[in-house]
């Protein structure tokens, strides 16, 4: 089959020796690989080559993801080193996120301390601010796409649903594409009235922050319709242990009215974001 797994030990272009599967998403499989030239480990995201498969708009989607990654260079964004195309596959050679998914930390202990949640939230917001300043919107910020490097620093991955503002539509780029993951999706996406992608990313960051500090989703229900209702209304309850400053920030981030919602600069200026443990103190918390 066109998307059969390449055997471990396969060497791509005489340079990248494939290892085991690291993860998979809707569009691709991601493998550990060793760069034989440098001896370093990398991640290889492999897509079935859409030209071989003849599949609809996939070529456009892969091109878009590559184009976005090429324009980003930030310590909390996964970096694209090169792209290899074979007859059956397109491979992105990426920085390896050796620490796995951020949310494996939440799974292990149920939740994290507010200080630790702030530590990761700061890294997430710095990446998102950087992207927005460059006209790039992720649109699928959620646990599976937030990874950790070998030193435990957060890396934003998977710009497969990303959007780029062009010179003509600028910062008010309005989108109608339904995208994202239900629990992390902003209310204005559900209402399909068009949305500003920057606001949508901010909303998702708020859901991530809530999950980190609470250990569960802010908007959840056995019924998808009921979950959507809660998202529309921006109806959520903070657990008793949240500090007043964190509650205040979350209410501003998870504001169902996108025009009233706080933006990345607002978050950075917010007392909860600014105050709290230094990175040095956090280093001790994390070990």
Contact positions vs Mg ion (CB under 5 A): 25, 145, 158
* DSSP E strands, 58-174: 80-85, 89-94, 100-101, 136-137, 146-148, 154-156, 163-164
Does position 204 bind ligand ADP by CB under 6 A?
no
User: Which of 160, 156, 137 shows the shortest CA–CA distance to 73?
Assistant: 156
- Write the CA distances from 97 to 30, 122, 172, 176, integer angstroms: 11, 18, 33, 32
Mask: binding to ligand ADP, 56-85, rule CB under 6 A, as x and -? Answer: ----------------------x-------
12, 18, 30, 77: which one binds ligand ADP (CB under 6 A): 30
Does position 96 bind ligand ADP by CB under 6 A?
yes
Binding range to ligand ADP, per CB under 6 A, among 131-139, 142-150, 219-227, 245-253: 142-150
- Known catalytic residues are 140
101, 114, 196, 255: which one binds ligand ADP (CB under 6 A): 101
Binding range to ligand ADP, per CB under 6 A, among 90-98, 118-126, 193-201, 235-243: 90-98
Q: Which is nearer to Mg ion, 78 or 282 (CB)?
A: 78
State whether the Cα torsion 128-210-192-268 is positive or negative.
Answer: negative
Does position 22 bind ligand ADP by CB under 6 A?
yes
Instruction: Give strand pairing partners of 221.
Output: none
97, 112, 163, 208: which one binds ligand ADP (CB under 6 A): 97
User: Which of 213, 215, 250 shows the shortest CA–CA distance to 234?
Assistant: 250
Q: Which is nearer to Mg ion, 114 or 158 (CB)?
A: 158
Q: Is the separation of the CB atoms in 73 and 130 below 8 Å?
A: no
User: Which of 27, 131, 29, 23 shows the shortest CA–CA distance to 76?
Assistant: 131
Q: Which is nearer to ligand ADP, 179 or 238 (CB)?
A: 179
Map the footprint of ligand ADP across residues 151-180, applying CB under 6 A. Answer: 157-158, 160
- Both tokens of 263, joined, read 């933006």
Binding range to ligand ADP, per CB under 6 A, among 89-97, 203-211, 230-238, 249-257: 89-97
Q: Which is nearer to Mg ion, 25 or 182 (CB)?
A: 25
b vs e for 15-44, b when ≥16 Cβ sit within 10 Å of the residue's Cβ? bbebbeebbeeeebbbbbbbbeeeeeebbb
Rounded to the nearest whole angstrom, what is the least distance from the CB of residue 44 to ligand ADP in the complex? Answer: 9
Query: How crowded is the C-beta side of 161, counted as CA atoms within 13 Å?
Result: 20
- Both tokens of 183, joined, read 């629990």
Element (DSSP H or E) covering residue 238: none
Query: Is there a binding annotation on residue 45?
Result: yes
Q: Is the separation of the CB atoms in 98 and 150 below 8 Å?
A: yes
- Both tokens of 181, joined, read 């993951």
Q: Which is nearer to ligand ADP, 22 or 128 (CB)?
A: 22
Rounded to the nearest whole angstrom, what is the least distance from the CB of residue 68 to Mg ion in the complex? Answer: 14
Instruction: Give strand pairing partners of 23.
Output: 30
Binding site for ligand ADP (CB under 6 A): 22-28, 30, 43, 45, 78, 94-97, 101, 144-145, 147, 157-158, 160
Annotated binding site: 45
Annotated binding site for ATP: 45
């Amino acid at each position: 089959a066109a998307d059969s797994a390449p055997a471990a030990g396969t060497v791509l272009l005489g340079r990248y020796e494939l290892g085991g599967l690291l993860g998979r998403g809707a569009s691709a499989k991601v493998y550990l690989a060793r760069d034989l030239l440098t001896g370093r480990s990398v991640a290889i995201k492999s897509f079935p080559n859409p030209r071989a498969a003849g599949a609809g708009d996939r070529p456009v989607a892969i091109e878009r993801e590559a184009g976005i990654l090429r324009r980003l260079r930030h310590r909390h964004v996964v970096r694209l080193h090169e792209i290899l195309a074979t007859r059956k596959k397109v491979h992105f050679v990426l920085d390896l996120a050796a620490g796995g998914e951020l949310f494996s930390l939440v799974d292990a202990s149920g939740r994290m301390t507010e200080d630790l949640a702030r530590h990761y939230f700061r890294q997430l917001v710095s990446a998102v601010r950087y992207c927005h300043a460059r006209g790039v919107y992720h649109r699928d910020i959620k646990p599976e796409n937030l990874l950790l490097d070998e030193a435990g620093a957060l890396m934003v991955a998977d710009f497969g649903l990303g959007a780029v503002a062009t010179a003509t539509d600028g910062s008010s780029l309005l989108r109608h594409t339904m995208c994202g993951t239900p629990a992390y999706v902003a209310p204005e996406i559900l209402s399909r009235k068009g949305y500003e992608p920057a606001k949508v990313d901010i909303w998702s960051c708020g859901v991530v922050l809530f999950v980190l500090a609470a250990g569960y989703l802010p908007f959840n229900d056995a019924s998808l319709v009921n979950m959507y209702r809660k998202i529309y209304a921006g109806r959520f309850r903070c657990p008793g242990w949240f500090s007043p400053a964190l509650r205040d920030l979350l209410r501003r981030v998870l504001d169902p009215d996108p025009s009233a919602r706080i933006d990345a600069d607002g978050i950075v200026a917010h007392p909860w974001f600014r105050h709290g443990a230094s990175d040095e103190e956090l280093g001790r918390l994390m070990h």
